[in-house]
């Protein structure tokens, strides 16, 4: 089924928005997000590995030809370093490792080089935004105290380690190792990492902590850096398990109805709200269970299972059976969005991602059932003639479509669905880690420097 869904999403993108970043499936035209500046083709690059894995050979070939002929980074564009890294660098790296086609390696390294000026700050903590022509960077105007964002500068590690591996140039890995050095020197309030860090002063901005937006994939990349290093990166490992310990103590709570959730922390006060983005953490806890210190393996799996259950409830308690952007555990509700501007669903993957990890790690059939419920809901409410669209209010009985087919729907949501219903030996966890945009990167095995081995 996910293959049919991919075909529908891809064919319509191709028909109405080919070469542009994303598709507007209702108005049947291209959609340009300013996150990528003038870089074009986000959907193509994000979808390459999904096409490959689903064995959509014709489509993969036309996507590759587009990359060869049209993917151009010599543009005057201000881009989000994080978004371009996870979608474009990550997408190109995976396409290279899966297919072995040199063009993807070349383009990934070329783009990586374009991103390097972002690190020209007093601390080496990169800017959020970079003009890839002039090399001038800056931060989001809304970020506390001119800060860079934890989830942005903390989500470069996996790709940059691979860029050094593939180019033979150590500079990429050095840049991301330095980020850790800066973080390790700093005092952390209650052992937690605030979402804001000023790249000039090296000081935290507001003490807001989140495992959802602004924080999320920083934690994910600590764990995955350790796994991707064939468990040799002890620093990443320690930072991950220490962070999880602090998260458990200060952010994880149980509702009176028995649902475990991860709250947000604002200078010591808890906001009892969990974002859809935070739901990825169920899969992360389960993936990290194996290495958990002090015999805590079972506990981390259980934590993953509880987060999966809570996130499933957030879907089940809507009329469309698709989860809201954020849900609350206060004012007499549990796992329900109470604010109008938190009731939307934009084809996000995190809940399905967690089902996929839980399925692989436990084989409890309920995760496939829950994934199937999501497929039915997507088909019923998000599928339109011209592709797939997000929904403005999942509690309503009538769809109001937002008219965007997000590129991560093809790279993540559909890929995780496909993996959820595949055998475990498709991209096995011993050999692959997924970047935060679901692009698989090979584990760099310590006993062989040779690439072929890593492609098993
Ligand atoms: C994706 O770009 C990535 O998963 C990122 O980590 C968070 N936001 C979207 C999906 O929701």
List pLDDT tens digits, range 413-444. 999 999 999 999 999 999 999 999 999 999 99
Nearest-atom index, ligand 1, CA of 280? 4
Per-residue confidence band for 448, with pLDDT thresholds at 50, 70 and 90: low
420, 375 contact by CB (below 8 A): no
Check whether 139 has a pLDDT greater than 80.
yes
Residue with tokens 């983005």: 277
What value, to the nearest 5°, has the Cα angle with vertex 444 and ends 442 and 450?
95
Nearest Cα to Cα of residue 349 among 422, 425, 276: 276
Residue with tokens 């587009």: 66
Separation CA 89–CA 436 (nearest Å): 12
Compute the distance from residue 412 Cα to the ligand 1 centre, in Å: 8
Per-residue confidence band for 449, with pLDDT thresholds at 50, 70 and 90: low
Q: How far is CA 287 from the centre of its chain?
A: 15
Q: Measured from the CB, is residue 413 less than 6 Å from ligand 1?
A: no
What value does the CA radius of gyration of the chain take, rounded to a whole number of Å? 21
* pLDDT at residue 189, rounded to an integer: 98
SS (H, E, C) the chain: CHHHHHHHHHHHHHHHHCCCCEEECCCCEEECCHHHCCCCCHHHHHHHHHHHHCCCHHHHHHHHHHHHHHCCCCCCCEEEHHHHHHHHHHHHHHHHHHHCCHHHHHHHHHHHHHHHHHHCCCCCCCCCEEECCCCCEECCCCCHHHCEEHHHHCCCHHHHHHHHHHHCCCHHHHHHHHHHHHHHHCCCHHHCCCCEECCCCCCECCCEECCCCCCHHHHHHHHHHHHHCCCCCHHHHHHHHHHHHHHHHHCEEECCCCCEEECEEECCEEECEEEHHHHHHHHHHHHCHHHCCCCCHHHHHHHHHHHHHHHHHHHHCCCCCCCCCEEECCCCCCCECCCHHHCCECCCCHHHHHHHHHHHHHCCCHHHHHHHHHHHHHHHHHEECCEECCECCCCCCCCCECCCECHHHHHHHHHHHHHHCCCCCCCCCCCEEECCCCCEEECCCCCCCCHHHHCC
Residue with tokens 């991560």: 408
* pLDDT at residue 455, rounded to an integer: 46
Separation CA 64–CA 101 (nearest Å): 9
Model pLDDT for residues 244-271, shown as the tens digit of each residue = 999 999 999 999 999 999 999 999 999 9
* pLDDT at residue 309, rounded to an integer: 99
Check whether 456 has a pLDDT greater than 80.
no
* pLDDT at residue 454, rounded to an integer: 45
Calculate mean pLDDT across residues 438-453: 78
Model pLDDT for residues 171-199, shown as the tens digit of each residue = 999 999 999 999 999 999 999 999 999 99
Per-residue confidence band for 33, with pLDDT thresholds at 50, 70 and 90: confident
**Residues β-bridged to residue 260:** 254
Name every residue whose Cβ is closer than 8 Å to that of residue 49 and which is 6 or more positions away in sequence.
Answer: 91, 94, 95, 98, 411, 415, 439, 440
Compute the distance from residue 155 Cα to the ligand 1 centre, in Å: 11
Residue nearest to atom 10 of ligand 1 (CA): 348
Q: How many CB atoms lie within 10 A of CB 54?
A: 20
Look at the chain and count its residues. Answer: 456
Separation CA 184–CA 186 (nearest Å): 6
Name every residue whose Cβ is closer than 8 Å to that of residue 308 and which is 6 or more positions away in sequence.
Answer: 279, 282, 283, 351, 354, 355, 358, 367, 370
Check whether 378 has a pLDDT greater than 60.
yes
Calculate mean pLDDT across residues 148-156: 98
Calculate mean pLDDT across residues 28-39: 91
* pLDDT at residue 453, rounded to an integer: 43
Q: Measured from the CB, is residue 348 less than 6 Å from ligand 1?
A: yes
Check whether 349 has a pLDDT greater than 70.
yes
Q: Give catalytic residues, as residue numbers.
A: 83, 216, 325, 350
Compute the distance from residue 408 Cα to the ligand 1 centre, in Å: 7
Model pLDDT for residues 389-403, shown as the tens digit of each residue = 999 999 999 999 999
* pLDDT at residue 452, rounded to an integer: 45
Per-residue confidence band for 447, with pLDDT thresholds at 50, 70 and 90: confident
β-strands 137-138, 264-266 pairing: unpaired
Calculate mean pLDDT across residues 18-40: 94
Q: What order do you get walking across the sheet with 78-80 strand by strand?
A: 78-80, 129-131, 137-138
Mean pLDDT computed over every residue of the chain: 97
β-strands 196-197, 440-442 pairing: unpaired
Within 13 Å of residue 73, how many CA atoms lie on the same side as its CB? 21
Q: Measured from the CB, is residue 349 less than 6 Å from ligand 1?
A: yes
Nearest Cα to Cα of residue 239 among 227, 226, 250: 226
Compute the distance from residue 450 Cα to the ligand 1 centre, in Å: 31
* pLDDT at residue 152, rounded to an integer: 98
Per-residue confidence band for 347, with pLDDT thresholds at 50, 70 and 90: very high
Q: Domains of the chain (ranges plus CATH)?
A: 1-442 (1.50.10.10)
Residue nearest to atom 8 of ligand 1 (CA): 277
Residue nearest to atom 3 of ligand 1 (CA): 437
Calculate mean pLDDT across residues 76-86: 97
Nearest Cα to Cα of residue 157 among 129, 126, 135: 126
Model pLDDT for residues 290-323, shown as the tens digit of each residue = 999 999 999 999 999 999 999 999 999 999 999 9
Q: Measured from the CB, is residue 310 less than 6 Å from ligand 1?
A: no
Model pLDDT for residues 192-249, shown as the tens digit of each residue = 999 999 999 999 999 999 999 999 999 999 999 999 999 999 999 999 999 999 999 9
Name every residue whose Cβ is closer than 8 Å to that of residue 293 and which is 6 or more positions away in sequence.
Answer: 241
Separation CA 409–CA 116 (nearest Å): 28
* pLDDT at residue 376, rounded to an integer: 98
Calculate mean pLDDT across residues 353-369: 99
Nearest-atom index, ligand 1, CA of 83? 2
């Amino acid at each position: 089924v996910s293959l049919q869904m991919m075909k529908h999403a891809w064919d319509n993108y191709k028909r109405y928005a080919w070469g542009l970043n994303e598709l507007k499936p209702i108005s049947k035209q291209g959609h340009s997000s300013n996150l990528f500046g003038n870089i074009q083709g986000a959907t193509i690059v994000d979808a390459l590995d999904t096409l490959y894995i689903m064995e959509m050979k014709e489509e993969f070939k036309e996507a590759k030809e587009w990359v060869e002929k049209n993917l151009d980074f010599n543009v005057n564009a201000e881009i989000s370093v994080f978004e371009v890294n996870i979608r474009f660098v990550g997408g190109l790296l995976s396409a290279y490792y899966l297919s072995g086609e040199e063009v993807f390696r070349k383009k990934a390294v070329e783009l990586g080089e374009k991103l390097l000026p972002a690190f020209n700050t007093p601390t080496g903590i990169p800017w959020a935004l970079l003009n890839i022509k002039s090399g001038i960077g800056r931060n989001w105007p809304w970020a506390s105290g001119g800060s860079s964002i934890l989830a942005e500068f903390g989500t470069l590690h996996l790709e940059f380690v691979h860029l050094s591996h593939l180019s033979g140039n150590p500079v990429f890995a050095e840049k991301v190792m330095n980020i850790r050095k800066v973080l390790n020197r700093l005092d952390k309030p209650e052992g937690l990492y605030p979402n804001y860090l000023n790249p000039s002063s090296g000081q935290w901005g507001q003490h807001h902590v989140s495992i959802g937006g602004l924080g999320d994939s920083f934690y994910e990349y600590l764990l995955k850096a350790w796994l991707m290093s064939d468990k040799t990166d002890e620093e990443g490992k320690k930072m991950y398990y220490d962070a999880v310990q602090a998260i458990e103590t200060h952010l994880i709570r149980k509702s009176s109805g028995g649902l475990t959730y991860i709250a947000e922390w604002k200078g010591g006060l808890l906001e009892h709200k969990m974002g859809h983005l935070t739901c990825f953490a169920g899969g992360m806890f389960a993936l990290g269970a194996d290495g958990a210190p002090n015999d805590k393996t079972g506990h981390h799996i259980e934590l993953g299972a509880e987060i999966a259950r809570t996130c499933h409830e957030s879907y089940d308690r809507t009329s469309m059976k698709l989860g809201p952007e954020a849900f609350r555990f206060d004012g007499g509700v549990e796992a329900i969005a109470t604010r109008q501007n938190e009731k939307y669903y934009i084809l996000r993957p995190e809940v399905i991602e967690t089902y996929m990890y839980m399925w692989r790690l436990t084989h409890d059939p309920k995760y496939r059932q829950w994934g199937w419920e999501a497929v039915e809901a997507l088909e019923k409410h998000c599928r339109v003639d011209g592709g797939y669209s997000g929904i403005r209010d999942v509690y309503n009985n009538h769809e109001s479509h937002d008219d965007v087919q997000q590129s991560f729907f093809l790279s993540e949501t559909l890929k995780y669905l496909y993996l959820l219903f595949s055998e475990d030996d498709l991209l096995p966890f011993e050999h692959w880690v997924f970047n935060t945009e679901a692009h698989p990167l090979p584990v760099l095995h310590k006993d062989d420097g040779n690439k072929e081995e890593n492609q098993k």
